[in-house]
Amino acid sequence: MKKIIFSSILILLFIGCNNKTNTKVSSKNESIEYKVDSVLKLMTIEEKVGQMNQYNGFWDVTGPIPEGGSAEKKYEHLRKGWVGSMLSVRGAKEVRAVQKIVVEESRLGIPLIIGFDVIHGYKTLSPIPLAEAASWDLEAIKNSAKVASAEASAVGINWTFGPMVDVSRDPRWGRVMEGSGEDPFLGSRIAEARVRGFQGDDLSATNTIAACAKHFAAYGFAEAGKEYNTVDIGTSTLHNVVLPPFKAAVDAGVRTIMNSFNELNGVPVTGSSFLQRDILKGKWNFDGFVISDWASINEMMNWGHAKDKREAARIASIAGSDMDMEGNVYIEELAQLVKDGVVKESILEDAVRRILRVKFELGLFDNPYKYCDEAREKEMIGNPKHHKTVLDMAKKSIVLFKNENQLLPLKRKGQKIALIGALANDKTSPLGSWRIASDDETAVSVLEGMQAYKGNKLTYVKGADVFIGKQSFLKEVIVNKADKSTFNKAIRVARNADVVVMVLGEHGFQTGEGRSRTNLQLPGVQQELLEAVYKVNKNIVLVLNNGRPLAITWADKHIPAIVEAWQLGTQTGNAVAQVLYGDYNPSGKLPMSFPRNVGQVPIYYNYKNTGRPIDKDGNVFWSHYSDVDKTPLYPFGFGLSYSNFEYSDLKIDGTSFKIGDDINVSVNVKNTSSVDGKEVVQLYIRDLVGSITRPVRELKGFELTKIKAGETKTISFTLNKETLGFYNNNGNYIVETGDFKIFVGGSSTKTLEVNFELK
């Protein structure tokens, strides 16, 4: 009882010192700073360490269970006020129960912040993030994050571990499905959109949640695409490719950052002062807090950077990791380290100040139960409006690779259609691997989506399994036997069909964390199935379901129509069917290059020219491969439509500019077809000579625009010093004079160009 009275006094004290709480996301709020300080003054060292301690809820586990993580101990620590946050507790009732323990039983009653991986939705799922990135539609991406917030905030969650803003050039890495692909500019714009979608304009609103840009930094550059592997990259790549999306997220007001499992150039990033103190909190002035990745503080011992937990706690806290995710290291070691004078109390205070700041901004001190309204939970989860938004996002994410002989859109009547492939009838795989809260079998399958179109005779045959093995979120069992019992039936049905639609690709659990692959072809016997069907019927529409770029070189050569449909979430089947039948005209463009084979990896559009870029006189001594073309199969920015677009009249308002001038560029884009469509007009630059060599192309602007059949639109861009410069090897942004090229077009390779000089 005494404790309850104390908590209430604390709250009254705050109300007294500031009558109105204004918890806007971005600007520092004086009244919040005052409140944070007054709470901090009341805290013991143990309570401060407690705020830096995050425990996992007692059921969902996303990593190995660290020693000593028992439920009893966690309950005891909650009562003592030794826990600042919980992850993966969900449900209005459940979160209320856990929140009640700290608010009513701990000495100071400081509410918990409740985190969860709301990566592309909570229950109602949007496409996987890589697919969303293919839409290049920032408004749609923002709306998709809003849906995720609306559902998550209704089940007690007030903090998502998203967006993942790791740039990656390596499709072997399973987590490319969680990011926005290979480009820092597109990645930055999407990072901003997602942060704004999750956090809204007002973090204290009940339907917004704090975002977390992760994984800081360079996790996407794991050597050989192997999960959790070492990262060794140069300063130019770090500053120009890896860091920009994090900076964009910080500038957009992201309230938290997660560090990562990898080391960077010999230092595990969880213990990197350079990244966390110098860059993030120093140069970028980030005033939110940093959470470790799952037990990544402990993992510094395995890396050989800390000899024991005590050393790991010292290194991580001093380096600026503010909260320990389920590692039990801070709670066990940090108080003693402070008492021994090894870690200054000011380190704790800085971390706690950051954590409390975000809790105040969320409005948790005003009402710790604000996200725990069961009536709202009922109304929000699976709300029909959410289904509408994720369907819209799913359609926008689809990329058309090939459409020979206008095989697509499909005719609506009188056709015999064979639908083949296990994924066509899969209601789980399209949900992807990051969907802890959604239920199995809840996606609309492609079969169901196509059944909604009644004019044709549709026959479904599985043909073969997708992959050789059984997988779940946590377990992976590999067996070398695929079910081929309906292989021959598939061939029979295909032989008699007018059109064959084959849905092939990866199972939902073949990408994501821990799912690195060395083979980028269609898994299992799917390639065999595709070739066997092709022998009896060449009219094939291949619909790909996958979470990473695949090497589908054979299919590209032989199959007349190819549709990249990723893992599109809850509304997958409806989105695919509407595109196949032409009720939706696809406009997606690739956010990541597709290689011809795995040996080309890493392959990306913004590569360096090298000293020997071209083959003069048929010599062998130039930068290429002897056994395969050096270009990707499908480049970054590529994607077709049922419309055709023609680019002309690329203009620039001068040929010579001073640093600081605005440079205006325009281009005409004509829809030469008879169908209305949308096009992503892309602008790239090349800085021809740099003190640090510059990539052959760099995306610096894009516009998604609707163009009616026959219509010509003029699209304008403005370049300025924010877009023309780069980071030097000291991490300073500079703009250099000299000659530049501008390229504008509908992909990174098919472009018009003009030149200018910067003086």
Name the residue nearer to ligand BGC (CB basis): 62 or 397.
Answer: 62
214 lies in the binding site for ligand BGC (CB under 6 A): yes
User: Count residues contacting ligand BGC (CB under 6 A)?
Assistant: 8
Name the residue nearer to ligand BGC (CB basis): 300 or 529.
Answer: 300
- Token pair for residue 427? 């209601």
Quickly tell me which residue has 């080309």 as its tokens. 600
Closest approach of ligand BGC to the CB of residue 513, in Å: 6
Among 90, 95, 103, 117, binds ligand BGC (CB under 6 A): 117
- Token pair for residue 686? 């090349």
- Token pair for residue 146? 């809003």
Closest approach of ligand BGC to the CB of residue 484, in Å: 35
Among 185, 294, 460, 645, binds ligand BGC (CB under 6 A): 294
Site string for ligand BGC, 550-589 (x = CB under 6 A): ----------------------------------------
- Token pair for residue 357? 């700041």
Amino acid type, 469: G
Among 137, 166, 192, 293, binds ligand BGC (CB under 6 A): 293
In terms of Cα–Cα distance, which of 267, 259, 258 is closest to 306? 267
Amino acid type, 349: E
What is the distance between the alpha carbons of residues 682 and 650, in angstroms, rounded to a whole number? 12
168 lies in the binding site for ligand BGC (CB under 6 A): no
Residues 138-157 that bind ligand BGC (CB under 6 A): none
513 lies in the binding site for ligand BGC (CB under 6 A): yes
Among 161, 634, 727, 756, binds ligand BGC (CB under 6 A): 161
Name the residue nearer to ligand BGC (CB basis): 294 or 717.
Answer: 294
What is the distance between the alpha carbons of residues 52 and 352, in angstroms, rounded to a whole number? 7
Cβ pair 51, 110 in contact under 8 A:
yes
Residues 44-73 that bind ligand BGC (CB under 6 A): 62-63
Closest approach of ligand BGC to the CB of residue 60, in Å: 8
- Choice among 166, 293, 322, 687 that is catalytic: 293
Closest approach of ligand BGC to the CB of residue 63, in Å: 5
Cβ pair 433, 515 in contact under 8 A:
yes
Distances (CA, A) of 127 to 11, 173, 529, 577, 666: 42, 19, 27, 15, 33
Closest approach of ligand BGC to the CB of residue 347, in Å: 24
257 φ, ψ to 5°? -130, 140
Cβ pair 594, 458 in contact under 8 A:
no
Name the residue nearer to ligand BGC (CB basis): 63 or 181.
Answer: 63
Sorted by sequence, the CB contacts under 8 Å of residue 304 that are 6+ apart come out as: none
Closest approach of ligand BGC to the CB of residue 510, in Å: 17
Name the residue nearer to ligand BGC (CB basis): 329 or 540.
Answer: 329
Closest approach of ligand BGC to the CB of residue 178, in Å: 8
Name the residue nearer to ligand BGC (CB basis): 63 or 187.
Answer: 63
Quickly tell me which residue has 């095989």 as its tokens. 407
What is the number of alpha carbons within 13 Å of residue 158 lying toward its C-beta? 32
Give catalytic status of residue 293 as yes or no: yes
CA 651 to chain centre: 35
In terms of Cα–Cα distance, which of 506, 433, 440 is closest to 475? 433
Name the residue nearer to ligand BGC (CB basis): 153 or 292.
Answer: 292
What is the number of alpha carbons within 13 Å of residue 412 lying toward its C-beta? 8
- Helix, strand, coil shares, percent, the chain, to 5: 35, 20, 45
289 lies in the binding site for ligand BGC (CB under 6 A): no
- Which residues have a catalytic role annotated? 293
Positions in the binding site for ligand BGC (CB under 6 A): 62-63, 117, 161, 214, 293-294, 513
